[in-house]
């Protein structure tokens, strides 16, 4: 796999220094750009992606400190190395503060040390960029997660509101059924009472177990039991007359449940026929 080729910009007003840097780095896998001063260096940076800048300190018009300060402001990701003579050591602290340089080297430099430092600077650059990319990805993923959470919260709120409305509707429906003036029972396929209104409790009464969960088995005799089984199997209404075990007679309408509750129970509507 081919690795990314790095670009190095060398800035010095002395051509012999630039030639020396070219000879030093010619065997390295770098793209090498040169400029004979700070202004020319900024022009090159404006048109090229540069990873490391190696600049002389003492240059006319714009010294290394001023140049690297502008580089830092315009291209903060570029790593900066400064070359200076022994007489310029006192200005290095200024260069560090103003240009935030990565390294400085005294002239004449040690070739092997300079090559090693440039190589390490590029490794540092790659690490910084990789870390930035990871941070950007993490930030993007966090934003995506935030959006998902907000969407889920909206769905939960919407679902909660919908359930509240459904619960209120269910409560009202139960209240309406409970207050109907004629007896109504809800019976499961297992002949268990799942709903009974006030009129049914009043008219059936006696020793019948009309609590929810109680069995209606045998409460109206064999005719009702047979009709119940037939209606549940055929999903058809039926109307019969029968007498409750407490002695009360009723006209009874058996109405099987439909839809998703098909086959799971029925409504029993009662009409008393005697006192």
Provide φ and ψ at 118, rounded to 5°.
-65, -40
CATH 3.30.450.20 in the chain: give the residue spans: 181-272
3-state secondary structure 93-139: HHHHHHHCCCEEEECCCCHHHHHHHHHHHHHHHHHHHHHHHHHHHHH
The pLDDT, as a whole number, for residue 157 is 86
DSSP for 214-270, written as a single string: -B-TTSSHHHHHHHHHHHHHHT--EEEEEE-TTS-EEEEEEEE--GGGTTSEEEEEE
Q: Count of alpha carbons within 13 Å of 20, Cβ hemisphere only?
A: 17
Here the tokens at position 155 are: 């769905």
Confidence of residue 87 (pLDDT cuts 50, 70, 90): low
Instruction: Say if domain 6-135 classifies as CATH 3.40.50.2300.
Output: yes
Distances (CA, A) of 206 to 241, 243, 246: 19, 13, 6
Tell me the CATH number for domain 181-272: 3.30.450.20
- By the 8 A CB rule, do 185 and 267 touch? yes
Alpha carbon 179 to its chain centroid, in Å, reads 49
In the chain, ranges of CATH 3.40.50.2300 domains? 6-135
Per residue in 146-199, pLDDT tens? 888 888 888 888 888 888 888 887 788 778 877 888 888 889 999 888 888 888
How far apart, in Å, are the Cα atoms of 208 and each of 172, 191, 192, 202, 240? 27, 14, 12, 11, 20
Q: What rounded mean pLDDT belongs to the chain?
A: 85
Question: With a threshold of 0.75, does the pTM exceed it?
Answer: no
Whether the per-residue pLDDT at 39 is higher than 80: the answer is yes
């Amino acid at each position: 796999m081919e690795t990314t080729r790095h670009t190095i910009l060398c800035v010095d007003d002395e051509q012999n220094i630039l030639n020396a840097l070219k000879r030093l780095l010619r065997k390295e896998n770098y793209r090498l750009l040169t400029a004979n001063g700070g202004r020319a260096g900024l022009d090159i940076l404006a048109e090229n992606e540069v990873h490391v800048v190696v600049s002389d300190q003492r240059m006319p018009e714009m010294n290394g400190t001023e140049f690297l300060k502008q580089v830092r402001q315009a291209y903060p990701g570029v790593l900066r190395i400064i070359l200076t003579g022994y007489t310029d050591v006192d200005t290095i602290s200024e260069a560090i503060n103003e240009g935030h340089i990565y390294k400085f080297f005294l002239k004449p430099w040690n070739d092997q040390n300079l090559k090693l430092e440039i190589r390490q600077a590029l490794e540092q650059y790659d690490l910084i960029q990789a870390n930035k990319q990871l941070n950007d990805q993490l930030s993007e993923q966090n934003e995506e997660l935030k959006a998902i959470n907000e969407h889920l919260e909206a769905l939960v709120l919407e679902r909660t509101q919908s359930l509240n409305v459904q619960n209120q509707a269910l409560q009202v429906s139960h209240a309406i059924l409970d207050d109907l003036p004629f007896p109504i029972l809800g019976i499961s396929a297992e002949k268990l009472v799942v709903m009974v209104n006030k009129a049914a409790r009043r008219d059936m009464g006696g020793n019948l177990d009309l609590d929810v969960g109680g069995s209606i088995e045998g409460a109206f005799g064999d005719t009702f039991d047979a009709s119940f089984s037939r209606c549940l199997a055929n999903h058809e209404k039926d109307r019969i007359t029968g007498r409750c075990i407490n002695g009360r007679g009723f006209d009874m309408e058996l109405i099987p449940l439909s839809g998703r509750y098909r086959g799971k129970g029925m409504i029993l509507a009662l009409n008393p026929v005697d006192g």
